[in-house]
Every structure is written in C-alpha cells, then in structure tokens.
Amino acid sequence: MPRFSSVNALVPISGFSVDSSSKDEECDKVITQLACLIELGKVAQSTLDTIRTTGYFEGIVPIASDKHTGYHRGSCTDVHAHHHTVRYAVLQKRQSISRADLPELGNLQLSFGKLRDSSYGGHDCKEVELFCEGLVARQIDQIGTTEFTQERKKLGSIRINKSHLSFVEDSYQKKTSTVYKTFAASPKSVESAQHFARCLGVFMMDTGPEPGLVAKTLDLQKESPTWFIEDGVVERMFGDIHQMIRVIEVMDA
C-alpha cells in the first residue's frame, strides 16, 4: 500500500528514492523542499513580470546563482553536475545621489586622545588617537532606509615623525599617509587627501555588519570623498591636526 506525503495527502512517495537514500524521511524532505521551491518560483515570476512592465522592482526576492559544476567523490557526475544556489537580493529602483542625501559635510569635527609612546620601523615615536564626531547618515535596514544620528568614531592615529605627521588608518591594513600642512596639486598630497577622505566617507555613510550596504548607500560612500576634498573639509582637518599636535606636544613637554 503506497505511503502518502504529509505535505500533500494526494502525493504518494513510495515510488522514488533520493540520491543514494531510499528512506521515507528523505522523500518527505524532498517533497517539502520542492513545494518551497515552487513558492519561490512564484515570487520570482511575479518579480520578473513587474520588472518587464515597469522597469524595476522594490523588495527582497529570491534569485538563483549561475550554474556551476558539482563534483561527487572527486569526479563530475550527471546527477550533481549543475548546482544553483538560491539567495535573497534587495532590488530597488535605481536612484541618483547628491550632497543633499547626507548631512552637512562640514559639520564633522576632529578630537584627539592622549600622547602615547609607540614605535614604527624599529624606531621609537609618539602617537595620538584621532576621533571624528558629528551628524552622519546611517543605513538601518536591508532596503536602504537611512537616518541622521550623532556619532563619534575612531578614525585612526596620528604618528609624530621627525619631519612630518602621518595618519594611520584604524583598520587591519593600517594604511598610512602623510598629513600635509599645505595643499598642493602634487600626486602625493592628492593621494593622501583621498585616503583621509575615504575614511571620512565610511564614517559619514555606513552601517553595522548587518545589513550590508545597498547600492545607493554604497554609491554615496564612494562619492562622498570627492565632496570632502572639493568642499575643503580635508584641507581644514589637516590644518586642525597640525595645530592640535603642536598644542599636545607643548602640554606634554
């Protein structure tokens, strides 16, 4: 007498096996997964119809990855040859970006920690922690909603060298660039300004580990460094750094 799936009483499941298993529970599992896949397919079809009609769709939808070859026990098999991975993607209408999407860039201010001993390249030096604070934009959900909040974050450290100051980014890479006293159109000063501006951009428009940045948020984060340089924010902050380091050194003497 045939056994029927608990998912659908009209579906007999005793007539098939799953891969290398003939267990009833494996058959039940596949029936459930197939039913789930059908539901996902309905969502995908509806989404595709909307895109074809309006040109865009807004929401979180399931999509299948590109085919890739699967291997079973070290060799390609027909049964495992083509795999798709289903993941969820955030689809949105493509939007333009502008400075108006962010708080006033010039509102950001620097603050400094205490002077401390450090070393670099085998030589003793001094460093001061560098913080940035002000009104910033934060993405707060998976669909890209942003809100303006007052934040304070460590950007990195200022390393005091004999002839110049260096900005050391607060990341695992510890990327370092020179903090120039005056701005000139030299490649090195431009590269240094761009590095510092990118760190400001991450601070100004960011999110936590989850959710990931949606397209508009990421576009703003990538474009804002150019605005920080054009609006003179980086030049002003470099001047502030040199001025404050002199004050900190005098107070520590």
**pLDDT digits 0-9 by tens, 145-160:** 889 999 999 999 999 9
For residue 12, what pLDDT band results from cuts at 50, 70 and 90? low
Round to whole Å and give the CA distance between 66 and 89.
Answer: 14
Please state which of the ranges 41-45, 61-65, 199-203, 208-212 shows the lowest mean pLDDT. Answer: 208-212
Angle made by CA atoms 237, 240, 242, in degrees to the nearest 5: 115
Give the per-residue pLDDT at 73: 47
Beta strands in 57-145 (DSSP E): 59-64, 68-69, 71-72, 75-76, 82-83, 86-91, 109-120, 123-139
Round to whole Å and give the CA distance between 60 and 89.
Answer: 6
**pLDDT digits 0-9 by tens, 158-186:** 999 888 899 999 887 889 999 998 777 78
* Count of Cβ atoms closer than 10 Å to residue 125 Cβ: 14
The answer to whether the CB of 74 falls within 8 A of the CB of 103 is no
For residue 199, with 0-12 CB atoms within 10 Å meaning exposed, 13-18 middle and 19 or more buried, which class applies? buried
% of the chain surpassing 70 pLDDT: 85
For residue 211, what pLDDT band results from cuts at 50, 70 and 90? low
- pTM: predicted TM-score of the whole model, two decimal places: 0.74
* Count of Cβ atoms closer than 10 Å to residue 169 Cβ: 19
Angle at which helix 233-252 crosses helix 187-204, to 10 degrees, equals 90
For residue 74, what pLDDT band results from cuts at 50, 70 and 90? very low
Round to whole Å and give the CA distance between 167 and 249.
Answer: 17
**pLDDT digits 0-9 by tens, 17-45:** 888 888 888 888 888 889 999 999 999 99
